[in-house]
Amino acid sequence: MPEQNEARDPGAKHPEPDFPHQEQQHPGWTGPMDPPPDHGEESYRGSGLLGGLKAVLTGGDSGIGRAVALAFAREGADVLFTHLPEEEEEAGQTRSLIEDAGRKAVSLACDIREEEQCRKVVDRAVAEFERIDILVNNAAYQMSQPDGIGAISTEQFDRVMRTNLYGMFWLTKMALPHMPRGGCVINSTSVQAYKPSPHLLDYAMTKGAIVTFTQGLAQMMASDGIRVNAVAPGPVWTPLIPATMPDTAEFGKQSPLGRPAQPAEMAPAYVFLASPQASYITAEIVNATGGTPLP
């Protein structure tokens, strides 16, 4: 994998489509993916930007979440991350990456669709860390439905809303009382918030709502010294793609850079927003779309 600071043609820095056709059952697994995702295992080098901070991250078992957990740890933060019960093996790999960086790792199996499960996440974080400096609301659910709105069942719609919005709302509401001045919330939105794909209609709805939540909460919390920002990735090569998309062969080819991002390419945006260097940045959406222009 290319080094973090190596200057290269961004379009050619990582694998380009066409990828082999591949399908997985939800929630998807890192191991079978071809090409394998890069989370920064061999390339990310920290420089102490988050020294001594305490982070809570949802969906940290794989994909963007694993890359952010790794980067936070290598920047000096202790990390508690959530995962689904069936993702225990994946979570173990993330936990090892955090510990190998010399930081405390806490993994917690839960389903953030349930309010009490969210409360357990915050209670555990406070028990382990005494405070929460950084909250990253990253966990999300999507399922492609190319046959139109009629194919979106109430069960799917409810799962998307509760995972992507309810969980974020509850966790943020519960975490804020334990966040000191200088703390921050970082939400994962998406290019879908601005340029929705019809086959991801319900998912795109939630990502638009996350933008609004981020910008409104940032104004609400400014006087308390808490910053609130979001990252809007474009196409990223994670296990969610073969688990939820009908065809992976050309995934990411629509990006102006001609390829999907690797999770490792998203992590620096989260690190920057979490760091003291971003002290005057709040209510911001950092677009990491590979060249797709957004408002």
| 57 CB-near residues (< 8 Å, 6+ apart) | 65, 68, 69, 72, 79, 80, 81, 82, 135, 136, 138
pLDDT at 196: 96
| 10 CB-near residues (< 8 Å, 6+ apart) | 257, 290
Q: Which domain holds residue 128?
A: 51-288
pLDDT at 103: 98
Residue 165 falls within a domain, yes or no?
yes
List the chain pLDDT tens, one digit each, 295 residues.
565 666 677 877 887 787 888 787 777 778 777 788 999 999 999 999 999 999 999 999 999 999 999 999 999 999 999 999 999 999 999 999 999 999 999 999 999 999 999 999 999 999 999 999 999 999 999 999 999 999 999 999 999 999 999 999 999 999 999 999 999 999 999 999 999 999 999 999 999 999 999 999 999 999 999 999 999 999 998 887 888 776 777 788 889 999 999 999 999 999 999 999 999 999 999 999 999 998 7
Residue 16 falls within a domain, yes or no?
no
> In terms of DSSP H, where are the helices of the chain?
63-74, 88-100, 115-129, 154-161, 167-175, 201-221, 240-244, 263-274
Residue 295 falls within a domain, yes or no?
no
pLDDT at 69: 98
Residue 249 falls within a domain, yes or no?
yes
Residue 26 falls within a domain, yes or no?
no
Residue 116 falls within a domain, yes or no?
yes
Residue 171 falls within a domain, yes or no?
yes
Q: Is 224 exposed, middle or buried (0-12, 13-18, 19+ CB in 10 A)?
A: exposed
Residue 177 falls within a domain, yes or no?
yes
How many domains is the chain partitioned into structurally?
A: 1
Q: Which residues are annotated as catalytic?
A: 203
Any idea what the CATH number is for the domain that residue 210 is in? 3.40.50.720
Contact at 8 Å (CB) between 182 and 225? yes
